[in-house]
């Protein structure tokens, strides 16, 4: 029988921020002990709660709610802006410690991972004992707490780690699902989103147990293949293993929520240039070129739509991606106020492949590529704001 751990950092961003402030900035106040939260700039639309302290929960502060709403519930709430560079440093240390217990570690997100501990009992003791040692060591050496779920399959290990928090160890083996999991609402089931919950509710299915005991044909008829997946998960059926191979990107994209409603094409295309600049830089860093580009628009009524086009040749040249993005935007935009813009690239190729020449184009792509490479080098050495395109000067 396999033994799989799912390790989840408790309030990761806030915990890592607290450890940094205590250990590196020598602050006396631990923000985990007061009503506090990690969130964006309240003056912009990125102002949502990303993580919250235990004391903040007493005020019903919720993750992903607007900061303005959170402050109405708790005016003394301490808001700390996120520092992703810092969090990636702590995440790396977290994953590094886990690899000391097993080579089979799958990083599932920045603050959680699966570890295949099968056959490790002779080295580290029985699963529960090992989990407590691992949990306590993380707290002692890295300064933050985690929850650990233990099972014989990945899904159940993740479900177990979501039980009572923080700083806990829970088991959820297949033999325990009826006792520990079936009484939970279907919304607690992995992959069961709001739309699926609503459809199941209409069928009179409210708990995971009711879903597990339902007729699979009825579930499939209403929720298609996703319903069949949920039914299998409700019955503890999961054959996936811990995947230690880092997956190669199949697409590169970026999106931004505007700090104000964009109502003119010039301003919208300025944001598109910024997005294309970021996406093309990431493509070049990974030595990739993209042949398909898409642009997504979300208006102020939250209607979302997108168009895509095949480029004349695979590219990672900023100007070339921007020209295609601008063309798509002009074709699809209906003139409504824009709340969000997104750019995504797919159908990737290695940049070692030769580019097919266009006899009818006067564009010097080799020159543009050298310019992009020079900009990348300057930004890598001096920071992303070291050099800006003229379109962004004096813009707020």
Integer Cα distance of 341 and 275 in angstroms: 9
SS (H, E, C) 331-347: HHCCCCCEEEEEEEEEE
Q: Name the active-site residue from 33, 76, 100, 112.
A: 112
Q: Read off the DSSP letter of residue 247.
A: P
Integer Cα distance of 180 and 184 in angstroms: 8
Give the torsion sign (CA, 9, 177, 132, 238).
negative
Q: Read off the DSSP letter of residue 34.
A: S
Q: At what angle do helices 365-382 and 318-332 cross, to 10 degrees?
A: 100
Integer Cα distance of 76 and 204 in angstroms: 42
Q: What are phi and psi of 117, to 5 degrees?
A: -100, 15
Residues linked to residue 344 through DSSP beta bridges, in sequence order: 253, 294
Whether 112 sits among the annotated catalytic residues: the reply is: yes
Contact 51, 37 (CB under 8 A): yes
Contact residues for 38 (Cβ-Cβ < 8 A; gap 6+): 13, 14, 17, 49, 50, 51, 52, 79, 80, 81, 82
Listed in order, strand segments (DSSP E) in the chain are 4-9, 36-39, 49-52, 78-80, 105-109, 112-116, 146-151, 169-171, 252-262, 288-299, 304-315, 338-350
Structure tokens at 368: 């543009």
Determine how many CB atoms are found less than 10 A away from the CB of residue 201.
Answer: 13
Enzyme catalytic residues: 112
């Amino acid at each position: 029988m396999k033994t799989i751990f799912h390790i989840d950092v408790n309030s990761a961003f806030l915990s890592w921020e607290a450890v940094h402030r205590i250990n590196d900035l020598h602050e006396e106040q631990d923000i985990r002990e007061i009503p506090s939260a990690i969130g964006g700039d309240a003056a912009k639309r990125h102002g949502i709660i990303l993580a919250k302290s235990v004391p903040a929960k007493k005020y019903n502060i919720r993750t992903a709610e607007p900061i303005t709403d959170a402050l109405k519930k708790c005016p003394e709430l301490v808001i700390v802006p996120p520092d992703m560079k810092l969090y990636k440093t702590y995440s790396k240390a977290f994953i590094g410690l886990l690899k000391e217990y097993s080579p089979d570690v799958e990083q599932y997100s920045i603050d959680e991972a699966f570890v295949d501990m099968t056959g490790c009992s002779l080295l580290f003791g029985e699963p529960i004992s090992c989990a407590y040692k691992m949990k306590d060591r993380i707290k002692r050496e890295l300064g933050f707490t985690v929850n650990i779920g233990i099972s014989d399959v990945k899904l159940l290990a993740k479900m177990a780690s979501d039980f009572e928090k923080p700083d806990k160890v829970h088991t959820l083996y297949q033999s325990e699902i009826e006792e520990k999991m079936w009484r939970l609402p279907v919304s607690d089931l992995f992959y069961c989103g709001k739309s699926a919950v609503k459809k199941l509710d209409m069928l009179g299915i409210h708990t995971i147990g009711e879903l597990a005991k339902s007729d699979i044909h009825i579930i499939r008829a209403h929720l298609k293949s996703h319903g069949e997946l949920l039914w299998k998960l409700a019955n503890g059926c999961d054959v996936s293993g811990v995947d230690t191979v880092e997956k190669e990107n199949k697409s590169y994209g970026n999106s931004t929520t505007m700090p104000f409603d964009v109502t003119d094409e010039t301003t919208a295309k300025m944001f598109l240039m910024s997005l294309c600049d970021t996406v093309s830089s990431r493509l070049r860093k990974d030595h990739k070129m993209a042949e398909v580009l898409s642009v997504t628009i979300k208006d102020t009524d939250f209607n979302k739509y997108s168009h895509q086009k095949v480029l004349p040749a695979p590219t990672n040249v900023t100007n070339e991606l921007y020209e295609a993005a601008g063309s798509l935007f002009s074709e699809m935009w209906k003139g409504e106020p824009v709340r969000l813009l997104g750019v995504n690239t797919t159908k990737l190729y290695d940049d070692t492949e030769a580019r097919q020449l266009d006899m009818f184009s006067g564009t010097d792509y080799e020159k543009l590529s050298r310019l992009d490479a020079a900009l990348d080098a300057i930004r890598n050495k001096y920071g992303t704001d070291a050099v800006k395109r003229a379109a962004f000067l004096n813009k707020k």
